[in-house]
């Protein structure tokens, strides 16, 4: 199983418009990032699928999950947020940005 180039992914997020992207936790086969885009903060878990080997990201507005629950398992099972799937880090960053924009649009309607 191929690993995840998390440093590349963080730098790529900054490159495509995230004002902040930082690795906050590294767990077994999963990473947690705190990011900011368009003045909204998001928690993002990134891992590889066990069967498909695709990259999987779960994107959740940061205010919806208290700090003590910032872990891959809590992010995975929180009902809020959206998923992004991709074959590589470049495609995943584009998917993450698209999902963040969609979440922001939904939040502004509420």
From CA 106, how far away is CA 30, in angstroms rounded?
Answer: 27
The answer as to whether 25 is a domain residue is yes
Q: What is the pLDDT of residue 68?
A: 94
Q: Which two tokens stand for residue 47?
A: 């891992």
Q: Domain residues for 42?
A: 6-78+88-109
From CA 98, how far away is CA 84, in angstroms rounded?
Answer: 9
Write out pLDDT tens, residues 41-51: 999 999 999 88
Cα distances from 52 to residues 20, 24, 81, 88, in angstroms, run 30, 26, 21, 12
Q: Is the pLDDT of residue 1 over 50?
A: no
Q: What is the pLDDT of residue 42?
A: 99
Cα distances from 104 to residues 76, 87, 109, in angstroms, run 20, 25, 9
Write out pLDDT tens, residues 10-34: 999 999 999 999 999 999 899 999 9
- The domain total for the chain is 1
Q: What is the pLDDT of residue 55?
A: 97
Write out pLDDT tens, residues 41-98: 999 999 999 888 899 999 999 999 999 999 999 999 999 999 999 999 999 999 999 9
């Amino acid at each position: 199983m191929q690993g995840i180039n998390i440093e590349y992914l963080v730098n790529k997020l900054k490159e495509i418009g995230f004002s902040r992207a930082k690795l906050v936790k590294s767990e077994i086969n999963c990473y947690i990032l705190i990011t900011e885009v368009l003045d909204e903060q998001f928690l993002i878990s990134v891992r590889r699928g066990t069967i498909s080997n695709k990259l999987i990201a779960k994107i959740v507005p940061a205010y919806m999950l208290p700090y003590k629950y910032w872990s891959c398992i809590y992010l995975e099972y929180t009902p809020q947020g959206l998923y992004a799937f991709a074959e590589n880090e470049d495609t995943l960053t584009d998917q993450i940005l698209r999902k963040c924009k969609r979440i922001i649009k939904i939040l502004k309607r509420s």
